[in-house]
């Protein structure tokens, strides 16, 4: 039996080479599922997306999904895409296994946690204080942030040039007015006059307005391994709860195993995995 793709809807075209089309997954011309293929311009490169892959129950476990995914990648090659990205919901283990078998590598994952009431008093370790970031320390912190963000994306598979462009654009959009940007929480954890760590939270996250977002939590090199990351995350949760935000989300890069363990221990669960591979 032959598994092929057949256009199911007219192709949608958008600005800057964006395009999208839904295909039926067919077995000897009989429809057995569907998949959506898309492309968009990202930082100068055309990036493909494969989503909503579904195979009917009666046709599963016969390799139909694998063939359909490979056929979708071929469509993206014909469209001129250099790279393909997919999103797999948390808990969808069969989809993750398929992605791994097809050569996809996890770049990052999104995690989220429902929040309770704001605590009446947030306990801090002895000798520790928390305060808003000052205007004088913001420029140096921002440069450190950009450098770390670029490193993370290069490790996740982006070229240094694309990672740098992504950092410049992202920080410009998210911190237009520095530490005074509306809806931005920048808190510094200090001890004995030294900056121990910083947490950065947006009270209106990038995915849903009712969800806040941890953009970064960073502990200084000389203070790691002492539980300060957990303290900073508790500060973030308290700030969100005080602002009546019901949920806190975050992105963690796949290579950052300590951060993944920390978030899991705090009750965060995976909402989506983000994977990619080059289209050679």
pLDDT in tens, 8-31: 999 999 998 899 999 999 999 899
Q: Give the CA distances from residue 38 to residues 87, 90, 141, 225, 242, in Å, rounded to whole numbers and listed in that order.
A: 13, 22, 37, 43, 40
Q: Report the pLDDT value the prediction gives residue 2, as an integer from 0 to 100.
A: 87
pLDDT in tens, 71-94: 999 999 999 999 999 999 999 999
Q: What dihedral do alpha carbons 67, 68, 72, 78 form, nearest 10°?
A: 50
Tell me the domains of the chain and their CATH numbers.
Answer: 3-81 (3.40.630.30), 113-275 (3.40.630.30)
Q: Which segments of 175-247 does DSSP mark as H helices, in order?
A: 228-242
Closest by CA to 32, choosing from 53, 10, 9, 11, is 53
- Residue 272 phi/psi, 5-degree rounding, is -155, 145
CA atoms within 13 Å, Cβ hemisphere of 98: 22
Q: Report the pLDDT value the prediction gives residue 176, as an integer from 0 to 100.
A: 92
- Longest CA–CA span in the chain (Å) reads 72
What are the per-10-residue average pLDDT scores of the chain (280 residues)?
91 93 95 97 87 94 94 96 95 93 95 88 88 94 93 84 90 92 96 93 89 95 92 95 94 93 96 94
Q: Give the CA distances from residue 143 to residues 3, 182, 220, 228, in Å, rounded to whole numbers and listed in that order.
A: 51, 21, 15, 22
- Residue 116 phi/psi, 5-degree rounding, is -95, -155
């Amino acid at each position: 039996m032959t598994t092929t793709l057949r256009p199911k809807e007219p192709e949608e075209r958008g600005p800057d080479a964006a395009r999208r089309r839904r295909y039926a997954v067919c077995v000897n011309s009989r429809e057995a599922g569907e998949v959506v293929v898309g492309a968009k311009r990202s930082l100068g490169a055309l990036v493909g997306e494969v989503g909503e892959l579904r195979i009917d129950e009666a046709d599963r476990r016969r390799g139909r999904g694998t063939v359909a995914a490979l056929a979708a990648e071929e469509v993206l090659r014909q469209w001129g895409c250099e790279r393909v990205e997919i999103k797999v919901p948390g808990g969808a283990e069969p989809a993750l296994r398929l992605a791994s078998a097809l050569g996809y590598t996890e770049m990052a994952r999104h995690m989220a946690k429902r929040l309770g009431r704001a605590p009446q008093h947030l306990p801090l370790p002895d000798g520790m204080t928390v305060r808003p970031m000052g205007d004088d320390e913001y420029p140096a912190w921002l440069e450190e942030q950009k450098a770390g963000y670029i490193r993370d994306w290069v490790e996740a598979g982006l070229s240094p040039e694309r990672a740098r462009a992504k950092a410049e654009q992202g920080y410009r959009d998210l911190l237009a007015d520095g530490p005074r940007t509306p809806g931005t929480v920048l808190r510094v954890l200090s001890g004995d006059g030294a900056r121990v760590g910083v947490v950065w939270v947006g009270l209106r996250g990038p995915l849903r307005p009712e969800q806040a977002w941890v953009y970064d939590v960073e502990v200084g090199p000389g203070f790691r391994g002492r539980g300060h990351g957990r303290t900073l995350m508790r500060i973030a949760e308290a700030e969100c709860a005080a602002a009546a935000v019901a949920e806190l989300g975050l992105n963690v890069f796949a290579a950052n195993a300590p951060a993944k363990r920390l978030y899991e221990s705090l009750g965060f669960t995976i909402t989506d995995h983000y994977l990619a591979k080059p289209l050679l």
